[in-house]
């Protein structure tokens, strides 16, 4: 049995007070069969960590630098992520790749540094619309996977998220068949890279997941959960997505 994970990527939303208010309305975590993971903005980690302790979910940060320490103004290290009690870190999100210049090489260093610090990296991969239209989606995603895992330890925890860039924040979700085709492809790549055990790495789908499309996506064989942006900002819609998860 593979692990199922439903994750909330809050991006640059929610102050500490707003994060705390979210959990006043949040009841799902303890009753869900999935692992729930929240990715708050770094300054709002404390109310999330407090609720995580009470309700039994996991949390992580949205970015970290691979160096142990040093002159990197504005950055935090993976040792620091570990020190505040987080279990996960997002790596290679398309917004970081597109807006902040994160390359596959840099992504690979972050994956390795996270694993070394006992933090599970959630490595995000996904093609743009032109890449899909040119028939290059699998080539692009396969390359991001291989290069992103170039320094990884296949015996340490890892999770993946397939997030087609054209579906992020656009309301344009991949069809269940499109998503399943890519997840199945990623599963085969994982088997080739690290064998059967490594192929059980959870692969989440992300990109405009909403309460009304989550149920059908959840039925796909190789979809092990969701990485949810916009619809994770309200406790009611994120709860509805968690409830829609049935395998
Ligand atoms: P979205 O974002 O659900 O708002 O499309 C998903 C993500 O970027 O992780």
Bridge partner residues of 58 (DSSP): 37
- pLDDT number for residue 31: 74
217 CB near ligand 1 (under 6 Å) = no
CB 40 within 8 A of CB 19: yes
* 241 pLDDT tier (thresholds 50, 70, 90): very high
CB 116 within 8 A of CB 157: no
pLDDT score at 28: 63
> Cβ(208) to ligand 1 under 6 A?
yes
Q: Is the CB of 125 under 6 A from ligand 1?
A: no
Work out whether the CA dihedral 113, 118, 119, 121 comes out positive or negative.
Answer: positive
Cβ-based neighbours of 189, under 8 Å, separated by 6 or more = 142, 145, 146
The per-residue pLDDT for 25 is 82
pLDDT reported for residue 26: 84
Ligand 1 pocket mutation, candidates 13, 161, 165, 228, criterion most atoms within 8 A of CB: 228
Ligand 1 centroid to Cα of residue 164, in Å, is: 10
Which range has the worst mean pLDDT, 101-115, 141-155, 164-178?
164-178
pLDDT band at 232 (very low <50, low <70, confident <90, very high): very high
pLDDT score for 131: 96
Catalytic residues: 93, 163
The helix or strand, by DSSP H or E, that contains position 159, with its residue range, turns out to be: strand 159-162
Using the mean position of ligand 1's atoms as its centre, give its distance from the Cα of residue 66 in Å: 24
DSSP category for residue 65? B
208 CA distance to ligand 1 centroid (A)? 6
Taking the C-alpha atoms of residue 29 and residue 170, their distance in angstroms, rounded to an integer, is 27
Rounded Cα distance, 117 and 4, in Å: 23
Mean pLDDT of the chain: 96
Q: Are strands 225-228 and 203-206 parallel, antiparallel or unpaired?
A: parallel
Residue that is written with structure tokens 């505040």 in the block:
84
Q: CA–CA separation, 172 vs 37, rounded Å?
A: 23
Over residues 170-192, the pLDDT tens digits come to: 988 999 999 999 999 999 999 99
Choose one of 169, 172, 226 to mutate for the ligand 1 pocket test, by most ligand atoms within 8 angstroms of C-beta: 169
Measured from the CB, is residue 121 less than 6 Å from ligand 1? no
- Ligand 1 contact, 163 CB (< 6 A): yes
Mode of pairing for the β-strands spanning 5-9 and 225-228: parallel
Confidence (pLDDT) at 4: 97
Residues 9-55 have pLDDT tens digits of: 999 999 999 999 999 988 765 678 899 999 999 999 999 999 999 88
């Amino acid at each position: 049995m593979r692990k199922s994970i439903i994750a909330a990527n809050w991006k640059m939303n929610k102050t500490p007070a707003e994060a705390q208010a979210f959990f006043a309305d949040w009841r799902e975590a303890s009753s869900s069969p999935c692992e729930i993971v929240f990715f708050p903005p770094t300054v709002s980690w404390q109310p999330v960590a407090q609720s995580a302790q009470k309700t039994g979910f996991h949390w992580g940060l949205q970015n970290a630098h691979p160096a142990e320490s040093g002159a990197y103004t504005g950055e935090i290290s993976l040792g620091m992520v570990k020190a505040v009690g987080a279990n996960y870190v997002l790596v290679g999100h398309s917004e970081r790749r597109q807006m902040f210049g994160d390359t596959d090489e840099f992504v690979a260093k972050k994956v390795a540094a996270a694993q070394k610090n006992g933090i599970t990296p959630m490595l995000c991969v996904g093609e743009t619309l032109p890449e899909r239209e040119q028939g290059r989606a699998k080539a692009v995603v396969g390359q991001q996977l291989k290069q992103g895992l170039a320094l990884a330890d296949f015996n340490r925890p890892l999770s993946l998220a397939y997030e087609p860039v054209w579906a992020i924040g656009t309301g344009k979700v991949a069809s269940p068949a499109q998503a399943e085709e890519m997840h199945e492809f990623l599963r085969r790549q994982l088997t080739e890279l690290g064998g059967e055990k490594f192929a059980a790495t959870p692969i989440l789908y992300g990109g405009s997941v909403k309460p009304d499309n989550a149920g059908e996506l959840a039925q796909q064989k190789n979809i092990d959960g969701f990485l949810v942006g916009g619809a994770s900002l309200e406790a009611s819609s994120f709860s509805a997505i968690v409830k829609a998860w049935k395998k």
